[in-house]
Amino acid sequence: MRRREFLKRSTAAAGTIAAAYVIPARPARGQARKDTLLTLSESGPNNLDVMGVGTNRPGYEASWNTHDRLVTFGVKKDPNGHDHYDYTKIEPELAESWDVGDMSATFKLRRNATFHDGAPVTAKDVKWSFDRAVTVGGFPTFQMAAGSLQKPEQFVAVDDHTFRVDFVRKDKLTLPDLGVPVPIVINSQLAKKHATDKDPWAMEWLKNNEAGGGAFRIEKWTPGQELVYQRFDEWKSGSLPKLQRVIWRMVPSAGNRRALIERGDADVSFDLPPKDVAELAHEKKLAVIGTPIENALNYIGMNVKIAPFDKVKVRQAVAYAIPYQKIMDAVMFGRGKPMFGGPAEVSAPIWPQPSPYVTDLAKAKQLLAEAGLPNGFETTLSFDLGFAVTNEPLCVLVQESLAQIGIKVTLNKIPGANWRAEFTKKTLPFIANAFGGWLNFPEYFFFWTYHGQNAIFNTMSYQNPEMDKLIDAARFETDPKKYKEEVEGFVSIAFADVPRIPIFQPSLEVAMQKNVTGYRYWFHRQLDYRQLAKT
């Protein structure tokens, strides 16, 4: 599909409700009450277990709202006066207090905390959950390792309400890493009832069932269609939510989602397309909040193990052929922060920051010729269909621009439920993707995405010992001057070798009825229903 035709169709869809998906014009009786919220998104969870294989980002939301963690983060106001989590403040959740020693941290658990089935929460449940996280492999195990949480021997159930973490090293990320979505506390006795010799961690059962003790429990889940939360009235790890029930519906059509929120049939529409957000914000009939996502980047990635992307000049050629400004104008409609056209030299230890690349087709053709490919080549550009409203027009523009330098691109649309599993295989040659680091440190982002030994999200299969050395040093650096040199060093290498091409820093966009209050931006880029209310 040509770009003009695609954008024309997208615009037409924005104001039309397709016959394939209809919600009654009048809210259902339960939805009209102030204690029930109806929220819409493009796609939903593929797994209720945040530690599961290939769990997608919407799956984090299901886990976040139904499970407790030992600690959480505080809140601050962003420049526009909206609530924003504060990564500098660690606050109690399941643990009401803690004591950090030289090489360990001891947590006192709330004595009155229970799981959804009424069973008491004990330190044994915390240990089983943490043991699980560092053992199952894949993303959860890497996430724990990012905070130097690496082996079951580190976790000690001192007594029923005392839990200790022994450090393998001093790491500034250890305590913050306990507040991210992965180290949830699971009802171990319930989970064990569904474990088998082949599945000792009950991965199959927990994929479709939750065993938490968080502020909400799952009343119903129809994959791909709807998830219904019910408030857990016995929750003790925070202030009881105002909402009693949340109905989360998956509506793939952006036009449908916009129409439903505009006519008042839904309370919240999450992750709307940039065009709709820009227009709705201008009209001011709804509350529209856009928040720059810290430590996040939308990018084009090239697998350096697959020819011809194994040649640095080919990668640089592609970087000079990306239609950056067209993407910002025709896809993002001014939402998001450009990450191109930066200075030639890196001079600040920050991330993300603009790369020096700009659209220069003559330079791109020259580099292709120098790489021995004057006539270009053919490749496949893959993207997540679960976020097609942005990904597809972006990829159409890239396809169109690369054709001008002889690179023939075929688009590969991968269903959202399969995207995580597919890109982590590292067999896709060319992808459009986004990554956001949960903990707001440059070295944390690079640990996940560029490190040759540890990075599960190193979708480019990139390996550079010099890069790894700088990342590892920065993770534990205490000297500010050395830290600056280390961060600037690995960012400079990333721009020179360009295994992934920065395009823009995304914003998290949400549109709400004006009677919805309490929205808080979180680093995991999903909704937290614990603070939301309807007036």
pLDDT tens digits, 116-171: 999 999 999 999 999 999 999 988 999 999 999 999 999 999 999 999 999 999 99
Instruction: Give the residue among 314, 335, 309 at the shortest CA–CA distance from 459.
Output: 309
Residues 359 and 440 in one domain: yes
Query: Which pLDDT score is estimated for 60?
Result: 94
Residues 373 and 484 in one domain: yes
Mean pLDDT of the chain: 92
- 26-43 average pLDDT score: 73
Do 480 and 432 meet the contact criterion of CB atoms below 8 Å apart? Answer: no
Residues 92 and 178 in one domain: yes
User: Which residues, at least 6 apart from 187, have a Cβ–Cβ distance to it below 8 Å?
Assistant: 115, 116, 117, 119, 121, 125, 211, 212, 213
- 90-109 average pLDDT score: 97
Last residue of a domain, one of 206, 228, 260: 206
Residues 313 and 425 in one domain: yes
Query: For residue 52, with 0-12 CB atoms within 10 Å meaning exposed, 13-18 middle and 19 or more buried, which class applies?
Result: buried
- 100-114 average pLDDT score: 97
**77 within some domain:** no
**3 within some domain:** no
pLDDT digits (tens, 9 = 90+) for 322-381: 999 999 999 999 889 999 999 999 999 999 999 999 999 999 999 999 999 999 999 999
Instruction: Give the residue among 415, 425, 414, 418 at the shortest CA–CA distance from 460.
Output: 425
Residues 358 and 246 in one domain: no
Instruction: Give the residue among 532, 38, 510 at the shortest CA–CA distance from 277.
Output: 510
Do 312 and 457 meet the contact criterion of CB atoms below 8 Å apart? Answer: no
**431 within some domain:** yes
The helix or strand, by DSSP H or E, that contains position 256, with its residue range, turns out to be helix 254-262
Residues 421 and 484 in one domain: yes
Amino acid symbol at 304:
V
For residue 308, the enclosing domain spans 296-505
pTM equals 0.83
**78 within some domain:** no
Residues 19 and 137 in one domain: no
Last residue of a domain, one of 177, 206, 235: 206
**1 within some domain:** no
CA angle, 168 then 164 then 137, to 5°: 55
Do 168 and 150 meet the contact criterion of CB atoms below 8 Å apart? Answer: yes
**480 within some domain:** yes
Residues 356 and 454 in one domain: yes
Residues 343 and 459 in one domain: yes
Residues 99 and 179 in one domain: yes
Share above pLDDT 90 across residues of the chain, in percent, rounded to a whole number:
85
Tell me how far CA of residue 82 lies from CA of 272, 397, 442, 517, 521, in angstroms. 18, 34, 25, 10, 8
Instruction: Give the residue among 190, 123, 194 at the shortest CA–CA distance from 157.
Output: 123
CATH number of the structural domain spanning residue 145? 3.90.76.10
Give the Cα separation of 282 and 301 in Å (integer): 34
CATH number of the structural domain spanning residue 376? 3.10.105.10
518: left (phi over 0), alpha (psi -120 to 50) or beta: left
Q: Is cis: bond before 308, omega within 30 of 0? A: yes
User: Which residues, at least 6 apart from 103, have a Cβ–Cβ distance to it below 8 Å?
Assistant: 166, 167, 170
**474 within some domain:** yes
**72 within some domain:** no
Q: 3-class DSSP state for residue 176?
A: helix
CATH number of the structural domain spanning residue 238? 3.40.190.10
Amino acid symbol at 399:
Q
DSSP code at position 109: E
Amino acid symbol at 508:
L
pLDDT band at 506 (very low <50, low <70, confident <90, very high): very high
- 303-315 average pLDDT score: 98
Give the Cα separation of 174 and 103 in Å (integer): 11
Residues 396 and 524 in one domain: no
pLDDT band at 453 (very low <50, low <70, confident <90, very high): confident
Q: 3-class DSSP state for residue 81?
A: coil
Give the Cα separation of 166 and 104 in Å (integer): 4
Structural domain total, the chain = 3
Residues 311 and 365 in one domain: yes
Give the Cα separation of 529 and 246 in Å (integer): 8
Q: Provide the token pair at 17.
A: 């409700």
- 167-195 average pLDDT score: 96
Share above pLDDT 70 across residues of the chain, in percent, rounded to a whole number:
94
Instruction: Give the residue among 440, 438, 489, 441 at the shortest CA–CA distance from 468.
Output: 489
pLDDT digits (tens, 9 = 90+) for 36-65: 999 999 899 999 999 999 899 899 999 999
pLDDT digits (tens, 9 = 90+) for 245-277: 999 999 999 899 999 999 999 999 987 888 898
Q: What is the DSSP track for 381-436? A: EEEEGGGHHHHHHHHHHHHHHHHTTT-EEEEEEE-HHHHHHHHTTT--SEEEEEEE
